[in-house]
Amino acid sequence: MLLPPAALRRILLLPVLLGLLCAAARADLVWNQQGGWRVEGGALSGLTGTEGRTALDLMNKARQAEEAHSYRAALSAYTKVTKKYPTSIYAPEAYYHTAKIYEAKKQYFKAFDAYQQILGRYPNVKRFNQLIENQFRIASFLLDGGRSRIWGIFPGFVNREKAVQYMAVIVSEAPYSDYAPLALMECARGQIYLGQSEEAIDTLDRMVNSYGQSVLSPEAYLRLSKLHASLVEGPYYDQAETKQAISYNEDFMILFPNDPKIADAAQGLDSMKKMLALSKMKIGDFYFLNRDNYTAARVFYNEAITSYPDSDVAKQARQRLNQVEAKAKAATEGGGQPKPKHFLFF
């Protein structure tokens, strides 16, 4: 089957076009004070003719204005490049310098967004790691209470919520980078500060499940145990959070036996096991002292002993068991039958 001449020409031109595109992909923009911007390492800028000259002139004017600290003029020129020539080699460089100018003006929200434009539009950019580092620096500054300036002049309000959002963006952008586990830890730190304990638990849980080999994992386990412990309302309430805190402390001690904070985990484990045992003790007291339900009392006193055998609570539970047996025996001997049991219906 013979191909039409037009189709044949397109096929023959395809390797040439691919070669040119590869050359463009390898091209770098280099700035020189005397000569301005020039393309090195590749054959194309992505533009030809008048467009190419106009874009290059705008880039040169923008850089000259930037170095003269005429930021308004520089931003105007860089913005024209990104809007008119978004597919050219100049566009990511224009976004990058836009972000640097906003950082210099302490307009951190706009700087972060400009870096985001590069990562979203040009994911193969060579500065990828540097861009993530710059975004992380901005997010950390804001998380620590730093303020972005309005119009580059007036300090704005502290906005840790925005910092938490930025940390989440960094994890989404670079899940396999060294900054991903660090961003998750910082995100959780911000959520804890904002009182978002449940959200922080979800974030830290994602951290230990996705980046278990990270050097930050021990700290994540400890934070999880403390967060769950902070949600415990006392021995009279549901102990699901207590059990979670116990689990994370035990996991920490098993996984990181040589960690310098092993004593913190042991102390946390001791506190939570006492809480769980005390909860069982209180329920046993209720059935024993208020309901004369000796069977139920025995169950919960034994659970208190099992929960933490070497604790003071276990010692008290054993004493209570002796009292239960004595009282049950007396009730049986006195009337032939123990007192009727009273059950609660909810």
Give pLDDT tens digits for 26-58: 568 899 988 899 988 654 666 777 888 999 999
For tokens 């054993």, what's the residue?
318
295-298 contacts: CB < 8 A, separation 24 or more? 295/341, 296/341, 297/324, 298/324
Task: Answer whether residue 345 shows pLDDT above 90.
Answer: no
- In the chain, count H helices and then E strands: 14, 4
pLDDT bracket for residue 6 (50, 70, 90): low
How many residues would you count in the chain? 346
pLDDT digits (tens, 9 = 90+) for 58-106: 999 999 999 999 999 999 999 999 999 999 999 999 999 999 999 999 9
CATH 1.25.40 residue ranges of the chain are 120-214
CB 226 within 8 A of CB 241: no
10-14, 52-56, 124-128, 159-163: the lowest-pLDDT one: 10-14
Task: Answer whether residue 17 shows pLDDT above 70.
Answer: no
Strand ranges, E, within the chain: 28-32, 36-40, 149-150, 154-155
Q: Which of 166, 126, 164 is nearest to 25 (CA)?
A: 126
What is the model's pLDDT at position 338? 55
pLDDT bracket for residue 21 (50, 70, 90): very low
Q: Which of 153, 127, 156 is nearest to 142 (CA)?
A: 156
pTM value?
0.84
Residue that wins the pLDDT comparison between 342 and 178: 178
CATH domain 120-214 topology: 1.25.40
pLDDT digits (tens, 9 = 90+) for 153-170: 999 999 999 999 999 999
Percent over 70 (pLDDT), the chain: 87
